[in-house]
Structure 1
Amino acid sequence: MKIEQIKEIADAILYEGYLLYPYRRSAIKNRQRWTFGVVYPRSYSSAQGNSEPWSMQTECLLQGDQQTRLTISVRFLHLLLNSVVQRDHQSSLTQGGNHIERQMQDEWEEGVAREVVIPEIRLPEILSQPLLAPIDFPGRYVSTTTTDATVISSSREQQDIYGQVRITAHCVEDAVYRLRVSIENNTPQIGINPDQREAVLLYSFVSTHTILQIEQGQFFSLLDPPEHLRTSAQACQNAHTWPVLIGDVGEHSAILSSPIILYDYPQIAPESMGSFFDGTEIDELLTLRMMTLTEDEKEELRHGDERARAILERTESLSTEQFMKLHGVIRSYECLQPDEEGKNI
């Protein structure tokens, strides 16, 4: 399977729970987001008694030799805070002949995809010493003031985030190795109250996951390892993530280490027209729900997160043929056979 196809599946993990139906910022279920794969700053984790993780660790087994090469990609969301000050015409007052107009401030977060790719890792090199790769994404602040009839000012702000990826391996038996990939968040927090989780999230890696690829070697499933490797597979220590084989069934050249527990070879249903950010629901049901939104709710979506707006536009343009493809699919069927007592099995 090509890396583009692997990333399509990984993106479903990256944006799982990004926004939930009805996809409005004002909806209660979208008030507390970012619950999957959060790697917090180390200082915040320490202040919380390490109850919130500042690192994520993947361990898996591979077969290789001197020619084995690895490519490791760490992916996560870097939160961006939007702030808009609006005129509140309904709350306008007149005092002493002077017109006083109240203001409302609205804030919401977007996720910006980040990726750190470490290519051409030679297996012999990480057997002798750890390979360290930096995670370093600078923040930004953009502020605009307008004369729009509604909006007075708006800003978009991201914080600097720092960390590292630590990659090691050691031999567990002839030509079989345990690979460890650790992701650490060392972002300093300046003037942030450790009890303010929402503020700390701006300094965190969100929806963090790892893609591992191998050349001149193969990975082993931890869910169904070969019999002689079961003990070694059980000894693998995975913290806040779980690695599964990814690709076409039977391939052993790539692993997705996900904060959401999956089985080997996860796939995206071919009938899906696009992401709804909610793997616990089915596309048909969410499409039907989108069709029940009021015009006011749709207007809020159109002026909100661009991914929520894309869901609305995709749903409104869905053809009857496309919609019918969402309605029930049988991928395999085995005829029921009666047992000795006449019951179906």
Structure 2
Amino acid sequence: MQTYRIGLIGLGGMAHSHLRWMAEEGRYEVVAVSDVNEQALAEKGDALGIAPGKRYTDFVQLIADPDVDAIVSVTPNHIHAAIIRACLEAGKPFLAEKPFTRILQEADALLEQYEAQPIRGMVGFSYRYTPAFRYARELVREGKLGAVRSFSVQYLQGWGSVLNDTPYIWRFNPEITGTGTLGDLGSHMIDMARFLFGEFKELSAQLRTLVPERRDPATGRMVKIEIDDFVSFQGLMAGGEAGVFQSSRNAVGSDNQHEVTIYGDFGTLHASTLEPERVVWTREEAPGRLARAVVDVPAHCKATQYGDFLLLLDGEAPDGLPGFMDGYRNQEVLDAVIRSSEQRRTVSLSNSSDPLSE
């Protein structure tokens, strides 16, 4: 089977995870790396055994390298669009981190380019590969819960809480991130709803900045925070399912708590990153009697992000793989959340430029 030569863009903390995931699959070889930090480029290049001529400070040169078969991009948000644009121009398959772009206008430009010259692309909505969520999707699609009436999704982390005295870092800089918690964690919630139920029809949202200032570690001065660190919204899906969403980076005691609870006519299902290989299923055990069971996820519901990327590179189309259009649709919903919060109104995704009638 073919081994794919990978050009890795971005050598920060998350790159270590991506390198491990690639190594676990056994069919990837990182042959070129790129980063604006020359020290990181030298250190990681040495550690990976990358030839000096394959270490790029300019990611466009890496993408154009004829020895690179595909791109893996693990970078801050503000260069996502430029990297995907360069991949489209070069015809190089890619796996890029989420959110797709900072703002919808960037995504619109990429969509126009993609429609003119489509390539194989994958967006890093990694929680599609949490076994519990994959099993939940199977149960919903097979009708085991009956008609789904409503659901709730939350994604909570605690690292940004006052208790931790979290300093001002790039994730709080709107020029880099576009949004805060919304793009970082909320994009995963949006993708999970789409993964489970399909497209959004309408939503009503609020964004809040709970911690108004953070200390700049370089100067010691307090910096005003101009992006959200809390988001909540209600959504209606195209199939009629009503959803409630919340996300925060200020939830003390929450490490990486992404979870969904689904309410159907035949029962309730709960899946979470806290129990990635189990679901909690409440259903009728006998007429008039409910039972709550912890159910192990079957083996066929276990897949990996980089396993699916291999299938994509091989020319296959794995069910549920988050592709280019999933990234674009996600950005449409992110934009609708922002406008709903700013304008204090319900936004329709079918014609999101106009308010819904009362």
Fold match, TM over 0.5?
no
Higher-strand-fraction structure: 1
Q: TM-score, normalised by structure 2?
A: 0.24
* Structure with bigger RCO (C-alpha 8 Å, 6+ apart): 1
